[in-house]
Structure 1
Amino acid sequence: MPFSALGLSEPLLRAIAERKYSAPTPIQASAIPAILHGRDVWASAQTGSGKTAAFALPLLQRLSAAPRRPGRFTRALILVPTRELAAQIGESLRRYARFLPEPLKTLVVYGGVSINPQMMALGGGADVLVATPGRLIDLLEHNAVSLSAVSHLVLDEADRLLDLGFSAELGRIVALLPEQRQSLLFSATFPAAVEALATGLLRNPARLDVPAAPATQPDIAQRAIEVDAPRRTQLLRQLVEDAKWPSVLVFVATKYATEHVADKLRRAGLNADALHGELSQGARTDALADFKAGRTQILVATDLAARGIDIAKLPVVVNFDLPRSADDYTHRIGRTGRAGETGIAINFISAETHAHFRLIEKRHGLSLPREQIAGFEPIQTEVPAPPTGGIKGKRPNKKDKLRAAAEAQSARVPRF
């Protein structure tokens, strides 16, 4: 099915052709007609499936056909969990809208930067406002924007919005919206909290569940390499140097680890940078821009980079630390193997994380062979199973503590 069969206007089709989109993805083919017909949409699709275009294209068409209301009003509101995703969606909207006969004003607002320029930009209202919830609340409290004229609401990465604790902010924002509006909810996963949100937010929605089909399944070779935790950075360095990967996205568990690992790689002569939520917005933007442009070879990041960020032709993702949940695993490795490209996802497995990785494998129907790299063979490959009995009064030794840590980590992984 070509894009022209979905009911999109000629200016939008020109923008699609310029982006060299050959044919709509399954979620685009399902969502675009429903949105054009004014339906609420509850859409679930795999990461990298083209969700942004699925809501952005029909949204722009509906806005371009409707009259504007003068003043500090917003006609369409798109809520997202991170600053990086907000900026990326804003750029996509501008590219899709470039051939429309009447320009649409798109603004992107998020925290971490001065609020004053954003307040000034909102002085004449906006056709589309892309926002993180916290900064939108700040703007509302400054009376810088009104939501009383919003006719379209989009929640992108809805599960992540709730994971990051935006439930209260979402409630405040939705209470200010008109009851008569079109609401669109997009996400790759739908845990119970998102199900409850969708039920209360949407009215007779078109429920679109697009499973990963063989034709659209990302081509990602997944590997599991056993290595002692203290030697992971050395192994990472050797893998990068041997394979000569031009860019590598490395996921770690904490902001401290991003700086620590990136610093060790730099001292080893590799071009590495860190990305985490405690950086200033300018530093975050620069780090991501340098990585996308190829000026940085290795980006060490927290899960901040796991959702919605599109990095063209990224060949490799490395889980230096395993993600806490199976869903986060999907989003992490989904940064590679996008848009028809092949990719590699490497997982470092230590004695402490064997049990947790088996749980991730179970959730995704995987069974990856365990590899060992010459010179990096682990001394301890797995935490021993707990004994059938104990010795009264015996203090836990190092193995006991390792086993307890693995069990605790496994227990913290949420059930879906």
Structure 2
Amino acid sequence: MQRKSNRRQGPSTRAIHLGYDPATANGALTPPVYMTSTYAFESVEQGTEIFEGKREGYIYGRTKNPTQGLLEERVADLEGAEAGLVVSSGMGAISATLWTLLKAGDRVVADKILYGNTFALLTKGLTKFGVSVELVDFGDLQAVARAAAGARVVYFETPANPNLRVIDIAAVTGIARRAGALSIVDNTFATPILQRPLELGADLVVHSATKYLGGHGDLLAGVVVGKAADIHAIRMNGLRYLTGAAVSPLTAFLVLRGLKTLELRVLQHSRSALAIAELLAEHPGIASLSYPGLPGSPGHAVAKGQMSAGGGLIAFELKGGYQAGVAFMNALEIASRAVSLGDAETLVQHPASMTHAAYGAEERLRHGISDSLIRLSVGLENIEDLIDDIEAALSAVPSEVAR
């Protein structure tokens, strides 16, 4: 039957159907999981051609698996990329990418606000092998332009972990391109549902698929997407022998399952987070608040131009600082005190002592990560119940601490 429209299908439709025909797998509606570590060749000649790249095929599970391949195709499509690579964790994706692109003598320019383990990889890992790293305030585009001259890679997150600082993707990637540097954007917090950095000039995009892409807190995985040639190099170098960070077939299957509801989940996370951000903005006990989707919040104007909604994360501080934050977090009953984000459950954590402990105290202060900062990952519970929980926890903060 002739298709009535040439309109590009929506992200949920593509995440559910792209790249798979049940007729190729005995009619199985759900793509099968290929639980094998190695693959047989019909002949020596066929195996040789596959190894030489002259023929498509599978060789060994560390390089690629059919279940993984379908996931890579779908994530790349959602991000608007030519190709993708799925590995065993978000840090696996970042490290495999950087180890492939960099060599001794190269220089990386990165934003000063980064996930704690990314910060550690850049400042304590790469530098051991002759790669220099310069941390810059990416809110200062002139400083970025000065630093980018002669750099090999420009790296940043937006919204940034943990304080949700928003970076102008088009402006920074434009600076990188003019300087001859490759730009890499961590899009974990926004997901391709809300933001697509490649469309704004980025060369590569990385994700911790552990978070929103998986969506259920039951797996570890990472993704990098970009041009086919770059992804091939990362697969054959960064994955195959530099890190060995292969994803398991079952994990790839679970992320594929998560993608089917990604759009629904991310939009609901965003709706609930906005309602909570509006509540916090009016509460007298809040000292500062950052939520990209909230008018008046830092970075909202930039976020409005590159994100379709504010996402599911909120960063804030209470009057009374650290002690007030501890009292608030300990009083929550629905929200769990746990690191990570993007789960169905609402999670709250203290970055200075948890996800960003890799920063020293002076480094946190210098880079805008206060000891009183709280990061809230808003889950999929009913919003009325979350609001009741948060209001009760705010009320539980002792008055002598809340001043």
The TM-score normalised by the length of structure 2 is 0.36
Q: Of the two, which has the highest radius of gyration?
A: 1
